[in-house]
C-alpha cells in the first residue's frame, strides 16, 4: 500500500474513532447506563434505548 493511501486511511480511522468515543462518552452521562453497569444485567438493552433516545433528540 502506498504511504499516501495509508495516511489517508489512518486519518479516516482517527475521525471515525473520535466520533465513536464521543458518542460512548455521551451515553455514559445517562444514569440508566451507570445503574446497569453496577447491576450487570440489561446493559445491552439499556444502551440501545439510550442510543435511540439520543438519536431522537438529535433529530429535533
pLDDT in tens, 7-41: 778 888 898 888 888 887 777 777 666 666 666 65
Interatomic CA distance for residues 5 and 2, integer angstroms: 5
Q: At what angle do helices 43-59 and 31-39 cross, to 10 degrees?
A: 170
- Confidence (pLDDT) at 26: 78
Give the residue carrying C-alpha cell 480511522: 13
Contact by Cβ (8 Å): 51, 27: yes
Instruction: Please tell me the pTM assigned to this model.
Output: 0.44
pLDDT band at 54 (very low <50, low <70, confident <90, very high): confident
Q: How many residues does the chain have?
A: 60
| 9's grid cell | 486511511
Amino acid at each position: 500500500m502506498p504511504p499516501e493511501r495509508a495516511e489517508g486511511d489512518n486519518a479516516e480511522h482517527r475521525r471515525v474513532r473520535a466520533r465513536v468515543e464521543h458518542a460512548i462518552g455521551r451515553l455514559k452521562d445517562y444514569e440508566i447506563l451507570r445503574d446497569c453497569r453496577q447491576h450487570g444485567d440489561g446493559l445491552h438493552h439499556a444502551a440501545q434505548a439510550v442510543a435511540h433516545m439520543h438519536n431522537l433528540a438529535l433529530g429535533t
